[in-house]
Amino acid sequence: MGGGGRGGFRGVDEQAQRRLNAQAPKVPALGRRVIALFRPYRWRLSFTALLVIVGAGLAVIPPLLVQRIFDEALFPLDGGGPQLNLLTILVGLMIGLFLLSAALGVVQTWLTSTVGNDVTGDLRVRLFEHLQAMELGFFTRTKTGVIQSRLQNDVGGVSGVLTNTVTSILGNTVTVIASLVAMLIIDVRLTLIAIVMMPVLVLVQRRVGQVRARIAAETQESLSELTSITQETLSVSGILLSKSFNRQRTESARYRRENDNQVRLQVRRAMSGQGFFAVVQVIMSSVPAVVYLVAGLLITGGTGEITAGAIVAFTTVQARLLMPLMGLMRVALDLQTSRALFARIFEYLDLEPQIRDSPDAIDVADAPGPRGAIAFEDVVFRYPDAGADRRPTLDGVSFVAEPGSHVAFVGPSGAGKTTILYLAPRLHEASGGVVRYAGADVRTLRQESIIDDVGIVSQETYLFHATVRENLRYAKPDATDEELEAACRAANIHHVIAGFEQGYDTVVGERGYRLSGGEKQRIAIARVLLKDPPVLLLDEATSALDTVSERLVQDALDAAARGRTTLSIAHRLSTVIGADVIHVVEAGRIVESGTHAELLAAGGLYAALAAEQMAASRVLDAEEGAAP
């Protein structure tokens, strides 16, 4: 949630934690795994590489033609006049090479872009699908904004590397090698002078890359925080909370602080290495001047022949060496920088879902028992991040729910009731004991086949920002309009939807905020009825509703539960009076079991809870009677 007051608790300790989080995780064989992303596109990549090599090779031919133009066509060494025929041929050849290089560049860019973006898209989908396979507990302990940031900011941050790196490395490497060969052909002595500083530049570049990688990791961590703040504060629930407590200024200040941090990091990232590149550019740009000086010394010293054409051709080739050399150094820095981002992505891809189907898992239809039968046998559950010294959330829970029966769970808040409910369809994994569905251990069943048999109505109903019709069809995409109406009639909501101006095409707003709580709950019930599962799980589905809405929703729930195995959690005991058996849960254990009458007669915890609610009800009745 928006948590208006949270901004005030952000101090030195959190900043230290943020810096720790920004450290790139250790991911084994990172380089090989990044290269493996291109494997499905190896043929397109090979053809692209061929075009890059041809294009890079063509790029160094014109300077060699320049030498012939000067020494043979314009200023022949034999002292004759300009050779116009040869000049025309050489100039035409140069223009033709330029046209061919341009055409190859267009094709190469298209191939590079499609391959790079396809790889980026594959990585994003792979990460999304992997996160969907994670257990429910992962999402309860991880900020939604952080997950969104990995999908958007981190994958987006490496997209440029995936799109351009391979061709940039290949093209620039070929250009540098071809240029060096051409320079050696023209004059070995001048070539040695031109490359004398390169080893030093490579060493400096590695140090700059390490600094940029650290800044990149901090930048992505800051982006994660910005995304989290935006997602929390500007959601309907978040904005309602901040407005309710008049904390908009606090949230704005919190966002501004993180935004200032992001701006600072982006500036640091942009400026890191700029001094290095400035030095490289100065050195490389100064080489022609040094070449002219050395050429003059060679000519005046009589140590060897060197022509004007050779000097012009050499400086032209050397000038062409500057851009690919700078490109290679920038790519090397980008690769060092992107290592942190790739490590963050693969860190999530390496997460092992705690709930996975076994290789020999079977469908519910092949289970030995009747569908809808649920049994817990001495079940223990402990959340993964709970300390070993803390008591388990559930400790030795056992019960049986026969097909078609209604089993209710009541007890104090935090007793473990919701955990029991989510263990039944294996949304959580039991730490000990056995959870059975249709007579089989749920660990031997395909999880998808269990979920297909279960309908869940929770206290906090989630509706998409879409029409009523689209929200209903989330349960059954091919449902007919008649089936939608039948489900809504059974859920006691059809007459309400029909009263909307646009009927079933009414947009419900984000999380259904345009509807009342009772209307949202009944639409959620209709959605479950459309699925028509043999098992119904009700998680305090009426606790947040007013009396009138509760009665309407409870009627809809009673109709929905008819003929289905129903596990329900109740805050108001009046909603479970008719249950076949009521289990009273306290501190992770079932302490009482029986019907409503039996539990009242026992005089235990259930009787105490009933007495408390009865007393509260009398107080409310008295207040309502005194109000007129």
Residues 87-109 pLDDT 10s = 888 888 888 888 988 888 888 87
Helix (H, G, I), strand (E, B) or coil at 199: helix
Distances (CA, A) of 421 to 314, 415, 431, 459: 78, 12, 15, 13
Is residue 530 within 8 A of residue 487, CB to CB? The reply is yes
- How far is residue 133's CA from residue 10's CA, in Å, rounded to a whole number? 33
Sheet order of strands, 406-410 included: 454-458, 535-539, 565-569, 406-410, 581-586, 589-594
Threshold 0.75, pTM exceeds: no
Output the pLDDT for position 287: 72
Using alpha carbons, select from 313, 326, 327, 315 the residue that is nearest to residue 287.
Answer: 315
Which domains, and CATH codes, for the chain?
28-349 (1.20.1560.10)
Output the pLDDT for position 77: 64
525: number of CA atoms within 13 Å, CB side?
Answer: 30
Residue with tokens 């009639």: 489
Using alpha carbons, select from 264, 216, 206, 255 the residue that is nearest to residue 232.
Answer: 255
Using alpha carbons, select from 454, 437, 455, 451 the residue that is nearest to residue 366.
Answer: 437
Provide CB contacts within 8 A for 183, sequence distance 6+: 190, 191, 194, 314, 317, 318, 321
Sheet order of strands, 432-437 included: 394-401, 374-381, 432-437, 440-441
Output the pLDDT for position 91: 85
Output the pLDDT for position 14: 43
Average pLDDT over every residue of 494-516: 85
Q: Kindly state the percentage of the chain with pLDDT values over 70.
A: 82
Winning range, highest mean pLDDT, from 18-22, 24-28, 320-324: 320-324
Task: Name the pLDDT band for 543 (thresholds 50, 70, 90).
Answer: low
Output the pLDDT for position 8: 38
Q: Kindly state the percentage of the chain with pLDDT values over 90.
A: 10
Whether residue 78 is predicted with pLDDT greater than 80 in this model: the reply is no
- For residue range 155-168, list pLDDT tens digits in order: 877 777 777 676 67
Output the pLDDT for position 36: 84
Average pLDDT over every residue of 513-527: 83
Is residue 399 within 8 A of residue 376, CB to CB? The reply is yes
Whether residue 186 is predicted with pLDDT greater than 80 in this model: the reply is no
Task: Name the pLDDT band for 198 (thresholds 50, 70, 90).
Answer: low
Kindly report the CA angle at 221 between 215 and 223, in degrees rounded to 5? Answer: 100
Winning range, highest mean pLDDT, from 29-38, 306-315, 604-613: 604-613
142's tokens: 């991880």
pLDDT, the chain, mean? 78
Task: Name the pLDDT band for 434 (thresholds 50, 70, 90).
Answer: very high
Distances (CA, A) of 14 to 7, 8, 9: 11, 11, 9
- How far is residue 455's CA from residue 556's CA, in Å, rounded to a whole number? 14
- For residue range 252-263, list pLDDT tens digits in order: 888 888 888 888
- For residue range 336-393, list pLDDT tens digits in order: 667 777 887 888 888 888 888 888 989 988 889 898 899 999 999 988 766 666 788 8
162-171, 548-557, 573-582, 618-627, range with the lowest pLDDT: 618-627
Output the pLDDT for position 444: 92
Please provide the DSSP assignment of 298-336 as one string. HHHHTSS---HHHHHHHHHHHHHHHHHHHHHHHHHHHHH
Average pLDDT over every residue of 493-507: 88
Provide CB contacts within 8 A for 86, sequence distance 6+: 68, 72, 73
- How far is residue 436's CA from residue 507's CA, in Å, rounded to a whole number? 40
Provide CB contacts within 8 A for 548, sequence distance 6+: 518
- How far is residue 621's CA from residue 600's CA, in Å, rounded to a whole number? 22
Output the pLDDT for position 20: 40
- How far is residue 10's CA from residue 254's CA, in Å, rounded to a whole number? 9
CA quadruple 94, 95, 99, 100: dihedral sign: negative
